[in-house]
Chains A and B, each alone.
Chain A
């Protein structure tokens, strides 16, 4: 009788162990991709002795305290001719805050604007764009500490009477990504360095003066960036 009890218990235990098997391991695969867009520089305000460092890097939003920066590029029409504007902004549901920008004017003789051929020719590695406005020049803009508001308060190279500084193309590469709505996007990833001076934004005068000019300068050095210009 006892052996029958033991045997029954053993069979029941084995049956329970068999039925209590763990769920098979879930195979989880995580991947993420952040494009190599960034801008970093050192700047010195008037009266400032040491340089301050600033970095903008495309990052994941809503994670910790990371600030989400977006890169936007597109052609603009100006009094000096057609240009390509690249802006770094902080975009919330309520406000767009402009932080940094570069505006390149196309060479005056160019006809097929912003095509792959035009952009590769325009951003040929080694080419130097002098700060300023007009064909072959670049206007650089930057909102430093104290000018970061939802109103565009960027200081600009073109605010100086005599723009001073340059941006040099280091290298370029074809770049593409899959946009969930717009599909496959192709463009040119441009790596560059820059240094020079920006005319300081003046909250009292800049918004009301059409051709604002100043002598007060924000000095930039050790600037490097990688930005994307999409092909037309």
Chain B
């Protein structure tokens, strides 16, 4: 955790010295993702965050986190038959079913305290880039040759063959101050990229990351007048 805090401090090194205050902490959260067919899935996440105040009651927030979303049930099956000029036949069967998504995320947001700088409510809006997106589910690639009846089958987890690996989207969040170092947070996120890779020649399944979450924001570090 110290290393991550140090990394955030380093990332914020470019913030002008006009910043009035700096704070950093961590947030555990529970997620309610919208998964296939508008059903609600489950998930959890955690992030380290930092905020700088650039003017009274407003500033920038940076967040680095990890999350897992469960409940997807999206699937695709590709059947390809090729007859070769020698009269041999090659069947290709590829099936994939997505159950969970795991990803790293980095958020850059603008925050402002509602109404005035003494308000217990802080609102945030910004962009999120998710990376290292991996899926959990079933993936099978089967080749059948009529040449000697050879068959090769490979089964493994979902990987870069069918999943995109990154995401970009917008987020809005609200923080309500419960105590001096503890806030209740709520967040909504909408991803712009289909997490399935593009399939050539046909419309495959679509899975856009949409999440709602609630959590606690714990402030571990704070300094005034940077």
Contacts and interface: CB of A to CB of B under 8 A. Distances in A.
Interface string A135-178: 00000000000000000000000000000000000000000011
Nearest to B76: A27
A169 B135 CA distance: 55
Contact of B145 (A28, A69, A89, A181): A181
Contacts, number: 85
A35 B204 contact: no
B85 A37 contact: yes
A interface, size bucket = 20 to 34
B74 A24 contact: yes
Nearest to A31: B80
Interface string B87-115: 11110000000000000000000000000
Interface in B104-158: 143, 145-147
Contacts of B74: 24
Interface residues of B, number: 31
A125 interface: no
Contact of A21 (B39, B75, B199): B39
Contacts of A68: 87
Contacts of B145: 180-181
B10 interface: no
A177 B39 CA distance: 44
Nearest to B199: A29
Contacts of B75: 24, 26-27
Given A70-B88, A71-B87, A61 B80 contact: no
Contacts of A59: 83
A27, A71, A181 — most chain B CB neighbours (10 Å): A27
Interface string B198-218: 010111110000000000000
Given A21-B37, A29-B199, A181-B145, A71 B85 contact: yes
Contacts of B83: 32-35, 58-60
B36 interface: yes
Given A28-B76, A61-B87, 7 more contacts: A21-B37, A29-B76, A31-B80, A58-B87, A61-B146, A181-B147, A228-B85
